[in-house]
Amino acid sequence: MSTPYRHLAAFILTFAVFSSIVWPSITEMELLWRRSETFMHCYLILPIFLWLVWRRQPHLPTQAYYFSPTAALAAFASLLLWLSAYLVEVSFIAHLSIILFCQCAVWACFGKSLVKALRFPLLYLFFLVPFGEAINPVLQDITAYLTVMMLNSAAIPVFREGLYLHTAFGLFEVAVACSGLNFLISALALACLYAYLTYNRLIKQLSFVLLTVFLSIFANSIRAFLLIYIAKITDFNYGFGDDHYYYGWLVFFVVIVLMFWLGGYFADKTPSVDLSYSPKTDTHKPFNQIKAGITVSILTVTLFCIALIRFNLPLTEVIIAAQPTPQILLSRQQNPSDWGITFHDGLYRDLLALDNGVEVLHASYASRQDQGEMISWHNRLFDRDGWTIVRRTSIGTGWQNQAELLFLRDNRGRSRAVLYTYRIGELNLIRPELVKVAQLVDLLSMQQQGASVLAFSIADVSDDAATDILQQSYLLFGCLPGSCKP
């Protein structure tokens, strides 16, 4: 077998075994592309990657391939990172680790010369990762701030309360769909590709990408302003429903066309010099054989060990039919709750009401379950469609013994407060990333202490009164380290 084919065979075998190990994360990634229009563009990334590789074909090295033990160690680190993220269901880190491993595998099996020649196509693969939803609250806040500025400049009085915009002619909410994340991510992917194909200098490429990001965020705020303004002058006959969708994509189209048109004025000429790689004579062939053996050994041991851990860690089976139905202990005089808290697939969950009007939810989870997870996108502390956060504050001492108090408002001006904490062993935590780390430590230490969430809520009282009542209920349930037993 010739040398290039030996390197290709090593890469294909490594990639095949790796794919079989991380297949659950790969299918989860594709499900996110299919389920959310924010990530529909991800289906185009692989075809674009293959086209970029084909476009770079004349500049690729054809002879001097070599194995890299350093890259194999980097591949081991990325696969270990995937395993950690997979065990505690941190999807973003798991998906990111898959791309990192693929890049490290190319480096390990073909050497630095090929990676250098394909650095942009390989980096462009990061757009396969569904990312950005964590910044939705930030984008919503920016959109609300800029929209208020535009409304004031148009002589339209507006009062902002969190993400609610109160005007004389109606109440508007900057919802998650109004954050502009789908426009921003798509524009970022297009801007990176355009900058790479159009400019040679890094400073010009970065400037174009940053300007596109800024204009995308600003244009989304213009879209929100126009929707409110059109609703005002047409008495809500236009601006919402299907118009909301069409106006958004129209603004996105105008921004992208404008950016490409302006960017064309500063385009660099295609370099006329030959950038192809000229391989040097290989004078260290025996040493390269040793590096090949070390690289293949590291990759083999890595894949074997990770697969052994991945398929043999303890897994608690969740039997939905055997789960107790949540108890709802409400007085006959109390109206049905509109709290909207949801925690699915727990081993145990209970929802009840106290005599002082406080509602309590407690749900427990195993360290690792065959389905469901405590910190996930569909487990919510309140109904996000009905309530918005206007203020939040932490309660407790130290990062390991904390609860958080959320003050909520709805579009009718009603108030609600929620006090919650996540419990892992002896720790009370509020930050999701710390919860995931604590769960990982608990799982790998084989202690299997499990996890639970405890949340209290009360509606239609002042913020000060809600704070006092919820803190008293929190202490009543004994939420101190080692004694949280509802």
Average pLDDT, the chain: 82
Q: 273-283 as b/e, with b when 16 or more CB fall inside 10 Å? A: eeeebeeeeee
CB within 8 Å of 398: residues ≥ 6 apart: none
Q: How far is CA 96 from CA 34, 42, 120, 385, 441, in A?
A: 18, 14, 16, 30, 21
Least confident of 150-154, 206-210, 257-261, 297-301: 257-261
Calpha distance 230→241 (Å, rounded): 13
Pairing of strands 170-173, 164-167: antiparallel
pLDDT, tens digit, 9 for 90 and up, residues 3-31: 677 888 899 999 999 999 999 999 999 99
Is it the case that residue 480 has pLDDT exceeding 80?
no
160 and 144 Cβ atoms separated by less than 8 Å: yes
Calpha distance 409→390 (Å, rounded): 7
454 and 477 Cβ atoms separated by less than 8 Å: yes
CB within 8 Å of 91: residues ≥ 6 apart: 25, 28, 29, 32, 85, 130
Reading the block at residue 470, the tokens are: 């919820």
**Banded model confidence at residue 287, pLDDT cuts 50, 70, 90:** low
Q: What is the pLDDT of residue 289?
A: 76
Q: What pTM was computed for the model?
A: 0.78
Q: What is the pLDDT of residue 223?
A: 86
pLDDT, tens digit, 9 for 90 and up, residues 315-344: 666 654 444 444 433 333 344 578 888 888
**Banded model confidence at residue 383, pLDDT cuts 50, 70, 90:** confident
Average pLDDT of span 255-267: 83
Is it the case that residue 40 has pLDDT exceeding 90?
no
Helices 136-153 and 181-198 sit at what angle, rounded to 10 degrees?
100
Calpha distance 304→14 (Å, rounded): 11
Domain residue ranges of the chain, discontinuous segments joined by +:
3-131+280-310, 134-264, 320-476
Provide the β-strand partners of residue 423: 428, 452
Phi/psi at 253 (nearest 5 deg)?
A: -65, -45
**Banded model confidence at residue 458, pLDDT cuts 50, 70, 90:** very high
